Structure 1
Amino acid sequence: MTSSRSLLAQALDRPGVRVRTLVQLRWAAIAGQLATLLIVGLLLGFPIPWPSALAAVGASISLNLGLAWLYRRRDRLEGASALLHLAFDLAQLSVLLFLTGGLANPFALLLLVPVTISATLLSARATALLVAGALGLLVILWQWSLPLPWRGVPLELPDMYRVALLIAIALGMVFLSLYAWQVSAEARRRQAALVATQAALERESRMAALGSLAAAAAHELGGPLGTITLVARDLESALGNDPDFGADIHLLNQEARRSRDILAGIAERAEAEDPFPFLPLPALLHEVVEPFEPTRVPVTIGVMWEPGGGPAVRRSPELLHGLNNLLSNALRHARSAVRLEAGEDSADFWVAITDDGHGFDPALLPRLGEPFLGPSWSGSGSTGLGIFIATTLLERTGARLSFANMSQGGARVELRWERAHIEGESRMAAE
């Protein structure tokens, strides 16, 4: 789990952007810029500094053609490379705005686009650098620019209005970048956590399938080994007393019989361990606790059914791994005791895991079950990824989870399954 978490953290720090995505976005910007210049300059007849404006657009076209030539479509740009490309787009747009009125140009609002793209695709540090550069260019455009293309006397906006434009665009730039980065970072964290959940489930499924694979291997090897045993017996009958080869033939026959006994034992154990049997819930709780014994904190189990009683539940990888994660978390934070309880009421079957530790942080209690709560949400360096994985896996079994702090101290995690769901699975298995 630790190595998976570190790899996910690295992936979150450097999301990057595909060259194909960057090229497509820039082509869309180039098309919009050319269309705007042609409409304003030719159709509406406003004066445009054509050589300089076309040179600025041509620079973007040249860069895009160079990217398409140097990179494959699936290549990614990360870190400084992606930041430089977005900074170029910001500077190129600023040049066009400088040539056509600065902040008085209605298209000055497009300065928000590069920083918003950076917030959704790049790291927080890269986005902060780009926002700082964008604010600097914004101040330059506010202070210096060529007149806005206009028929007759050039349009002069009041100074107060120009200041308001500067403040409005700057605030919009900062707010949009923060909002877009937060939303995209949350999406990346959840996707990374789901990948970790799937990896944990696959590991648990592979472990559960080892029994079936062992049984299949034993059956497949039984045929060739039977032939070897038969040949060894014939050789022992014919040459068992030979002074040169008798001892080797006896050893060969003995090892063949031993191999058959080993394969027979593997097959019996594997067939007895169905990967997904139905077990009474108390028996499954004992199986969950067994890998943690002995431990510094004793784990006690209390159920309301008589021995051998309780609902039959599917021994699935999701249920085992989810309960293991929750029990491991309780043991890590408990002072002297952890308890597993199980029972039923008229509507549900339930399991509760309690410990006598410090309990959950009240500020984060409503968010438990979300991925990557922070670097040390529990005071132990944990990020909450384990509880997210457990919650996701257990919800696949139909469980509803709730987290709470007990009045006498310590934490309590409760899982509930609808009776109809558990009993329906048991009936389907019996049929």
Structure 2
Amino acid sequence: MERPSIAAAAFDRPGVRVRTLANLRWIAITGQFVTLLFVGLYLDYPLLWPSLIAAVAASAVLNIGLMTLYGRNARLNGRDLALHLAFDLVQAGVLLFLTGGLANPFSVLLIVPVTIAATLLRARAMAFLGALAGTVIVVLWLWARPLPWDGPPPDFPIIYLFGVAVALALAVGFLGIYLWLVSAEGRDRAQALIATEAALTREAKMSALGSLAAAAAHELGGPLGTITLIARSLYDQLGDDPEFGDDIRLLESEAARSRAILVRIARRAEAEDPFANLGLDILLHEVAHNVAPSRVPIRVTAASPQPLVRRSPELLHGLQNIVSNAVRHAGSEVELRATATVGDVCITILDDGAGFPADVLPHLGEPDLGPSHSGAGGTGLGIFIAVTLIERTGGRLAFRNRPIGGAQVDIRWPRSHIEAQEEE
């Protein structure tokens, strides 16, 4: 499948329902039309009716086409949504251009399309709409028709109009950036949590398959044992028979082979039981094995004795993400240390690489889905998933750089949160 271009990816966001966008536009069209009728007919201001009605009608025609061409639950996203919001911005600019420009008190409504875009579009689309809004503001400041006053129009100083233009530009920029940052953080966190749930679901499915395999091996063991006994009996009686001997020997050997396969399946399923209790050092050896083959060796050190811990999918997957990140950035070795006290259990993951960048260190664990800060191709999503999963088990993580060079991750649990109970 062909990957989308960078330009297309810049507009890639969840989008908005067509019905929602159409309803918002109908509200705007109704407000514009009612305002024109009130100002032109009731207040008796001279207006350029053909041009103004044409601008409002163009928006209505586009809305009718939008509702006709798209299904009830269709969504607009990316480039299509950006173009629709750009149309709304230009249409509002045309109405303001014909009715006083920045002197029109309704010029503040230029902020609306940009703020809507800030919650739905990526940075490149936001920059495009922000630049378009700035262009519209400059045109309104320099060339808009004067407001059709009833009587001699007031003479607005140029500095006043310049101040209104700057105020509108700052409002568009500030609100757009603020809403974009807030909504982007929420979207990134939602996407990262979806990835976390997907990882847990995959882990749960693998565990379910192991349990199913164990149950199947147990249930099939009885019938297969009976088949094996009958096959051996037939072999003892007819093993040398020239007509049936070869078939009976094949039956007996295949029954023995099937029994051996079931035994291996049962042992494997038992070894992969997600609810089994393991020593902390054994758990770290399993994590190191799951990360292998790695580009650098992974060494496990543990003070004795080690407590038994609950082997959960969250714990395994979270530790594997942290260790994989350490392996990716290590120079020559990664070390996993396990220590336990009366009240706490701690795992320390150390590598001898370049360490965490100073500007990234305070933000580790956040759902940063943007470009890699380290140049290693990562986005921070793996660390966020690991933090989320490990915190579900009651653990707390601390990231820091080692004085001798390299990165260090300390994970600490209250012993009662992670230690397996004796009855388990």
**TM-score per shorter chain, which class?**
0.7 to 0.9
The question of whether the paired residues in 2 share the 8 Å contact of 1:148 and 1:155 is answered with no
Residue identity in the other structure for 1:411: A
CA distance in 2, matches of 1:214, 1:314: 21
In structure 2, the partner of 1:98 is 97
Q: Which residue of 2 aligns with 1:122?
A: 121
Deviation at 1:231, TM superposition (A): 7.7
Of the candidates 13, 16, 34, which is equivalent to residue 15 of structure 1?
13
Alignment of 1:302-381 (within 5 A): 302-305=301-304, 309-345=305-341, 347-372=343-368, 374-381=370-377
- CA distance, structure 2, for counterparts of residue 350 and residue 138 of structure 1: 59
Aligned CA distance change for structure 1 residues 280 and 190 (closer, same or farther; 3 Å): same
Rounded to whole Å, the distance in 2 between the matches of 1:311 and 1:42 is: 84
From the superposition, tell whether residues 104 and 419 of structure 1 become closer, same or farther in structure 2 (CA, over 3 Å): same
Distance 1:173 1:158 in 2: 23
Distance 1:232-1:68 versus aligned 2 partners, 3 A rule: farther
CA distance in 2, matches of 1:147, 1:293: 73
1:153-174 CA distances to partner (integer Å, 9 max, x unpaired)?
Answer: 3343222211111111122222
User: In structure 2, do the counterparts of structure 1 residues 227 and 148 end up closer, same or farther at CA, with 3 Å as the change threshold?
Assistant: farther
1:341·1:352 contact (CA, 8 Å) conserved in 2?
A: yes
Scaled by the length of structure 1, what TM-score is found? 0.85
Q: Is 1:132 aligned to residue 131 of structure 2?
A: yes
Is the 8 Å Cα contact of residues 12 and 188 (structure 1) preserved in structure 2? no
Supply the AA of the counterpart residue of 1:376: S
2:276 aligns with 277
Cα deviation for residue 397 of structure 1 reads: 0.8
Residue of structure 2 in register with 1:430 after alignment: 423
For the 8 Å contact 1:212–1:275, the answer to whether it is kept is: no
User: Contact 2:291/2:320 (CA < 8 Å) preserved in 1?
Assistant: no
- Please say if residues 307 and 340 of structure 2, whose CA atoms lie closer than 8 Å, have aligned partners that are also in contact: no
Residues 100, 146 of structure 1: 8 Å contact kept: yes
Give 3-state SS (helix, strand or coil) of 2:408's partner: strand
> Distance between the aligned counterparts of 1:239 and 1:41, measured in 2?
110
| Residues 280-304 of structure 1 deviation map (CA, whole Å, 9 limit, x = unaligned) | 2122122222345675534333323
SS at match of 1:341: strand
Q: Give, in whole Å, the separation in 1 of the partners of 2:69 and 2:227.
A: 62
2-structure distance, mates of 1:235, 1:348 = 62
- Once the two structures are TM-superposed, the CA of residue 278 in structure 1 deviates from its matched residue by 1.8
Q: Does the 8 Å contact 2:301/2:336 carry over to 1?
A: yes
2:66 and 2:238 mapped to 1: Cα distance? Answer: 78
After superposition, give the CA deviation of every residue in 1:287-326 in whole Å (9 maximum; x if it has no partner).
2223456755343333232xxx322211011111111122
Matched residues in 1 for 2:288 and 2:253: separation? 41
Secondary structure of 2:275's aligned partner = coil
How far apart are the structure 2 equivalents of 1:130 and 1:295?
46
Of the structure 1 ranges 175-184 and 83-92, higher mean CA displacement relative to structure 2 is found in 175-184
Other-structure match for 2:194: 195
Equivalent AA in structure 1 for residue 417 of structure 2: H
Sort the Cα spacing of 1:236 and 1:280 in 2 relative to 1 into closer, same or farther, 3 A: closer
Superposed, 1:165-184 pairs within 5 Å as 165-184=164-183
Q: Give the match for residue 29 of structure 1.
A: 28
Judged with a 3 Å threshold, the aligned counterparts in structure 2 of structure 1 residues 148 and 12 are, in CA distance, closer, same or farther, namely: closer
Moved more, 218-227 or 234-243: 234-243
Q: Deviations over 1:198-226 (max 9, x none)?
A: 22222333333332121123245457656
Which residue number corresponds to residue 157 of structure 2? 158
The equivalent of 1:75 in structure 2 is 74
Residue 390 of structure 1 deviates from its aligned partner by: 1.3
The change in CA–CA distance for 1:43 and 1:236 in structure 2 (over 3 A counts) is farther
Give the whole-Å Cα distance in 2 for the aligned partners of 1:68 and 1:294. 55
Q: After TM superposition, give the deviation of residue 336 of structure 1 in Å.
A: 3.0
Amino acid at match of 1:313: V
- Cα 1:223–1:348 change in 2 (3 A) is closer
Local SS of the residue matching 2:394 = coil
Classify 1:37/1:363 alpha carbon distance in 2 versus 1 (closer, same or farther; 3 Å).
Answer: same
SS of residue in 2 equivalent to 1:415:
strand
SS of residue matched to 1:354: strand
- Counterpart-to-counterpart distance in 2, 1:311 and 1:30: 69
Residues 147 and 153 of structure 2 are in contact (CA less than 8 Å); yes or no, is this contact kept in structure 1? yes
Alignment deviations for residues 390-431 of structure 1 (CA, whole Å, 9 cap, x no partner): 1111111111000111222221100011133235xx33x726
Deviations 1:106-134 (A, max 9, x none): 11011111122223222322222222222
Q: For 1:149 and 1:37, locate their aligned partners in 2 and report how far apart those are by CA, in whole Å.
A: 12
Partner residue of 2:394? 398
Q: Is 1:288 aligned to 2:287, yes or no?
A: yes
Aligned CA distance change for structure 1 residues 298 and 228 (closer, same or farther; 3 Å): closer
Q: Which residue of 2 aligns with 1:260?
A: 259
Q: What is the count of residue pairs matched by the alignment?
A: 420
Q: Work out whether residues 353 and 405 of structure 2, in 8 Å CA contact, stay in contact via their aligned partners in 1.
A: yes
Alpha-carbon distance between aligned partners in 1 of 2:251 and 2:206, rounded to the nearest angstrom:
34
Distance of 1:134 and 1:10 partners within structure 2: 21
| Post-superposition offset of 1:39 | 4.1
Structure 1: distance between partners of 2:267 and 2:28: 68
Kindly report the root-mean-square deviation, in angstroms, between the aligned alpha carbons of the 2 structures: 3.2
Return the alpha-carbon distance in structure 2 between the equivalents of residues 331 and 50 of structure 1.
70
Is the aligned partner of 1:216 residue 2:212? Answer: no
Indicate which of 337, 362, 384 corresponds to 1:388: 384
Q: How far apart, CA to CA, are the structure 1 residues paired with 2:53 and 2:109?
A: 18
Does the 8 Å CA contact 1:311/1:422 hold for their aligned counterparts? no
CA distance in 1, matches of 2:412, 2:10: 34
Change (3 A) 1:289 1:10: farther
Could you say if the C-alpha distance between residues 146 and 129 of structure 1 is closer, same or farther in structure 2, counting changes exceeding 3 Å?
same
TM-aligned CA distance change 1:225 to 1:167, over 3 Å? same
Match of 2:298 in 1: 299
